[in-house]
Amino acid sequence: MKRTPTLLVAVLLLLTANLNGANVKTGIEVLRENNFDILQGKRVGLTTNPTGVDSQLQSTIDILWQAPNVNLVALYGPEHGVRGNVHAGDHVDNEVDKKTGLKMYSLYGKTRKPNKEMMDEIDVMVYDIQDNGCRSYTYISTLGMLMEACIEHGKELVVLDRPNPLGGNKIEGNIVEDGYISFVSQFKIPYLYGQTPGELALYLNATDYENKCQLTVVEMQGWTRDMTWDETGLEWIVASPHVPQGKSAIFYPVTGIFGEFGYVNIGVGYTLPFEIMGAPWVSADTLSEALNALELPGIEFRPIHFKPYYSVFKGEQCQGVQIHILDYEKARLSEIQFLIVQEMMRLWPERNWFELCDQKRFGMFNKVCGTNYIREEFGKRYRWEDIRDYWYKDVDWYREASSKYYLYK
């Protein structure tokens, strides 16, 4: 039985809406302020996970479930599941949500795109998930699959918009080439694409689909493109097990591509996920000196000694560098890992990366890069300069093309 909140609870929610100092109202809060008008009289499905909360950390599931004028009938879960209880990459099963009794359909198991049975139950699909601004993070792939399903089955899609934690100006990486479309590179967009989920949905709806999705984006209030996550005033909710803080989202593209190989430790299994790179055969002082000599804009490298608790080199003493971003606006995030590998190969050439790593991971590396060119060309000399122009070749074009669908300045 659905629970109806009392008038007192509703008033208290309004009075306390910004007591935590949030400068940004997310889509779910704007939707609530508008009395859920676009959902009234419709059977509602919700695709979300633990990141779907308001500024007071109330779950979007609970908000819609408790709203007397919203008929929430089913939940849909991306990678890690609706409640965030599934490890990265593991399949998610269909279940029943213990709190609401609603069906929970998995969109990260045998089915990635909702099928007819899943879509027949609803009139409108609502999407509310905090993304991390990186193409290889699979939540936007789920968003794309929802768009396709809504087109195929004649359903509406409502995207409750949220900030891009990298801001709206970081665009890095080549677009995905034909033959390399996958769930970690679902669209022909750069590795860092500089859009909110709502803006990306608008762009894809205009450029990727012959038939258009019945799409509504509930815009945020107060967000601007130059905002860092801390400036939003919003609490960061663990988006996936190794992205526990807002800054983790920033570091994810700094080392995540080469982390695919498991040849060095990138902080996964230690207390600094994606913030370090190291191995037992590295000299921390030598590597940090070499990298700082490159004078990368906004970046400083510090020598670090660490022992991973799990994952690569579990229990082994490692040395490497911790990456410090001192000027975020100047920093070019995704190229840092290529330069670290470049200097590792120059200092320890006997540790030939692509010869000694798990070559079964080449396919995933290529998918994440959106091409095989990066691996093949970089592997010839391990010099960033050999692939730099290719990596950035689509940035200006994409910035202009995507800016037509910006919702925020």
Hey, which CATH number is domain 7-229, 3.40.50.12280, 3.90.550.10, 3.40.50.12170, 3.30.9.10? Answer: 3.40.50.12170
Q: What is the mean pLDDT of residues 302-315?
A: 98
Strand partners, 106: 77
Query: Which DSSP symbol is given to 233?
Result: T
Query: At residue 245, does pLDDT exceed 70?
Result: yes
Q: What is the pLDDT of residue 94?
A: 74
Q: What is the pLDDT of residue 95?
A: 84
Say if residue 4 is exposed, middle or buried (CB neighbours under 10 Å; 0-12, 13-18, 19+). exposed
* pTM beyond 0.85: yes
Q: Which helix (H) or strand (E) holds 150?
A: helix 139-153
Query: At residue 39, does pLDDT exceed 80?
Result: yes
Strands 214-218 and 156-160: parallel
Model pLDDT for residues 379-399, shown as the tens digit of each residue: 999 999 999 999 999 999 999
Separation between Cα atoms, residue 318 and residue 305, nearest integer Å: 6
Query: At residue 338, does pLDDT exceed 50?
Result: yes
The confidence band for 15, taking pLDDT boundaries of 50, 70 and 90, is: very low
Fold match, 7-229 / 246-371 = no
Q: Work out the percent of the chain whose per-residue pLDDT is above 70.
A: 92
Q: Work out the percent of the chain whose per-residue pLDDT is above 90.
A: 87
Q: Which helix (H) or strand (E) holds 103?
A: strand 103-106
Query: At residue 130, does pLDDT exceed 60?
Result: yes
Model pLDDT for residues 99-124, shown as the tens digit of each residue: 999 999 999 888 999 999 999 999 99
Q: Give the largest Cα separation in the chain, rounded.
A: 70
How many helices (H) does the chain have, and how many strands (E)? 15, 12
CA 305 to chain centre: 29
Each domain of the chain, given as residue ranges in start order, spans 7-229, 246-371
Q: What is the CATH number assigned to the segment(s) 246-371?
A: 3.90.1150.140
Query: At residue 10, does pLDDT exceed 90?
Result: no
Q: Which residue has the tokens 């909702």?
A: 114
Q: What is the pLDDT of residue 92?
A: 57
